[in-house]
Amino acid sequence: MNALAEAFDRAADGYDAGLRANPVWLLFRHSVQERLRQLFPKGARVLDVGCGTGEDALLLAEAGVRVFAVDVSPAMVEIARAKARERNIPSSLLSVEVRTAEDVAGIDGPFDGAYSNFGALNCGDLAAVGRGLARVLEKGAPVLLSWMGPRPLPGVVRHGPRALRGGNRPRVGGVPLAVRYPTLREVRDLMGPDFVWHDSFGLGVMMPAPEFPAWPVRHPGLLGVLAGLESVVRRWPLLRGLGDHLVIEGARR
């Protein structure tokens, strides 16, 4: 088992509870999921790259989208499968498989769209992911990608250059991981020439980072104000690359 799979296997049991107790994570997820709902209609066949415990895949499957979800962690995959069984989601709507993000080229396509939410792409070879998605996606298929950015604005304002990501090796489940924090431009370039990108925005441009879950619990009113302000400014050219997470949307050429 590689380090990435081992790390998220160790973190799997408490993963959902940690996210559900964190208001900022919930706002991040809601923002992306609302866009996923709009992008993928009922009956579309969609690829989820790095599905984790399957929250996004389950949401879409329950709306009638046919989702093929992959994750490197066997424990995460089993949790996603268990959730599907509990909700009586048939395999015709949701299939979950242990597979790396770089190995999507080996999946039988074609797909009508693809997405990757939160940080799976920070630990992957984006050029290989781009080649794989180009192989399995229909021309014109929408793509939405989300990952952890290199310079989250609230942290930089508070801590200065020390808040810039890139030199550290974070631990997940006690396992140190090699993680990259690409910019919006770097992701566009690494994904290759088979995609066209037409939208981007930041998550956590104005709000404190999810690593401080107690703050929004103590200040729910202020969190609401900051979330509202962020919804206005997160696409502004000078701010959209300064989120805790970055999001781009495009399509297969």
Per-residue pLDDT reduced to its tens digit, 157-174: 766 666 678 766 788 888
Instruction: Give residue 134's pLDDT band: very low, low, confident or very high (50, 70, 90).
Output: very high
Number of domains in the chain: 1
Mean of per-residue pLDDT scores for the chain? 93
Backbone φ and ψ for 81, nearest 5 degrees, come out as -65, -40
pTM, two decimals, is 0.95
Classify burial at 243, counting beta carbons within 10 Å of its beta carbon; exposed 0-12, middle 13-18, buried 19 or more. Answer: buried
Residue 119, pLDDT score = 85
Whether the CB-CB separation of 142 and 113 falls below 8 Å is answered with yes
Q: Range of 21's domain?
A: 3-252
pLDDT in tens, 81-121: 999 999 999 999 999 999 999 999 999 999 999 999 998 99
Residue 161, pLDDT score = 66
Instruction: Give residue 242's pLDDT band: very low, low, confident or very high (50, 70, 90).
Output: very high
Instruction: Give residue 149's pLDDT band: very low, low, confident or very high (50, 70, 90).
Output: very high
Q: CATH number for the domain including 104?
A: 3.40.50.150
Letter for the amino acid at 13? D
